[in-house]
Amino acid sequence: MAQFFRGNLAGLTLRAGKLESKRVIDCLYTCKEGLDLQLPDGAGKGVKIHMNPSQSTVTIEGDDIERVDKAMQHLSYLNSRQFPTPGIRRLKITSIVKCFNEESCVSIPSVEGYVMVLQPEEPKISLSGINHFARSASEFEGAQGVALFPELRIISTITRAVEPEGDGQEDPTVQESLVSEEIMHNLDTCEVTVLGEELNQEQESLEIDMTRLQQKGIEMSSSNLGMIITGVDTMASYEEVLHLIRYRNWHTVSLFDRKFKLVCSELNGRYVSNEFKVEVNVIHTASPLEHANHIAAQPQFVHPVHHSFVDLSGHNLANPHPFSVVPSTATVVIVVCVSFLVFMIILGVFRIRAAHQRTMRDQDTGKENEMDWDDSALTITVNPMETYEDQHSSEEEEEEEEEESEDGEEDDITSAESESSEEEEGEQEEDQQNVNRQQQLEWDDSTLSY
């Protein structure tokens, strides 16, 4: 290493007694980044080309300067990585001229340059699937355990800017649009982490089929914190591997739930996916044989003993008492439907009663209107002569009284005769007035309609 290594070292891994896969060995000899020289037909005559395995150095030899120049014009930089590392790639051109005596007779200075690799579109790795489900305690205690990621999906997308059609300079309001495209690439690491308490190796574990794992050339390491899967492979292969991860717990009496987190990455953590969290709940059910034994052993004359039970608040248990019955979904639906039906019946009764009361009130109002007098056709006629006759009679009475008083003073003897005569006349006038008044107070029934 000290004698033959030249350059910068980013990392080193020694694998004693192990052989790398064919893909890694091919990458060492045919690197995806380097120099490339593709000459057209007839352009390589009289020119010798040498290239090292890493494609970092190219040597061109020839007797004709023009042919060497043409070969140099076809020299290119190649980077076939799906997501190349951005940065500067420095280049150096060294020229040597040899004379006939094979000695350098002319000195040509070296030329330096660089190639700039731009930032590529970064992929967005998305993990999706079922993130919350419940299983019975017997499944956790079984030999297969419970699959943590049964319907996991791994999707990677990139966002690219699409230029508008036509000349964008003519219309300044036209802007570039962003388009999201799904792509396929490799992953190199997926990590499953336990959220909360660490795994207790005495009663729980994370397991995976190692035979299937070795067939894909992927490695696995586990600890109390979770499981790490490493190896360069496609997203489809990682989906199959993650479907194989199972969680077992052979002591689920005190277990109610467990939470896990999954994160996948590529290029040694350069692109990281979202955190996919999964919560698994344990359903505890009582044995039916245990119920039957308790019922048979307890006579009717003995008071039932309340057995102690574990507090299972926050879980899918309706009542932990041994004599209770867990209501099913159908029972809940039936109770809700019956309650709604009773409510509708009560509402209908109230509406019918209110309508009946409104009808009775309208009938009573109609009867009262019928009992009222219809005085629209009545006409009252007032005699204007009644006031005139009353005034005329009152004036005559006053004059007669004055004459009587005067006559009484002049002659007392003749008063008796005059008074008697006046009384007779007054009685006749009063009788005449009474007759006139009776005639005036009679109803004018000529306008009445029967």
SS (HEC) of 338-384 = HHHHHHHHHHHHHHHHHHHHHHHHHHHHHHHHHHCCCHHHCCCCCCC
For 199-226, the pLDDT digits (tens) are 998 899 999 999 988 888 899 999 999 9
Average pLDDT, the chain: 76
Alpha-carbon gap, residue 229 to 238, rounded angstroms: 9
Contact by Cβ (8 Å): 215, 241:
no
Query: Please, what sign has the CA dihedral across residues 293, 295, 300, 306?
Result: positive
Nearest to 207 by CA among 144, 130, 142: 144
For 371-409, the pLDDT digits (tens) are 555 555 556 665 656 555 555 555 566 666 666 555 555
Alpha helices in 33-119 (DSSP H): 65-73
Cβ neighbors of 11 (< 8 A, separation 6 or more) are none
CA distances from residue 291 to 68, 146, 232, 286, 318 in whole angstroms, order as listed: 95, 28, 54, 8, 16
For 75-131, the pLDDT digits (tens) are 999 888 888 888 999 999 998 887 777 665 778 899 999 999 988 888 999 999 999
Alpha-carbon gap, residue 33 to 49, rounded angstroms: 19
Cβ neighbors of 329 (< 8 A, separation 6 or more) are none
| DSSP character string of 270-321 | TEE---EEEEEEEE----HHHHHHHHHHS-TTSPPP-------TTSS-S--S
For 230-251, the pLDDT digits (tens) are 998 999 999 999 999 999 998 8
Query: In a 3-state reduction of DSSP, which class is residue 206?
Result: strand
Q: How confident is the model at residue 302 (pLDDT cuts 50, 70, 90)?
A: very low
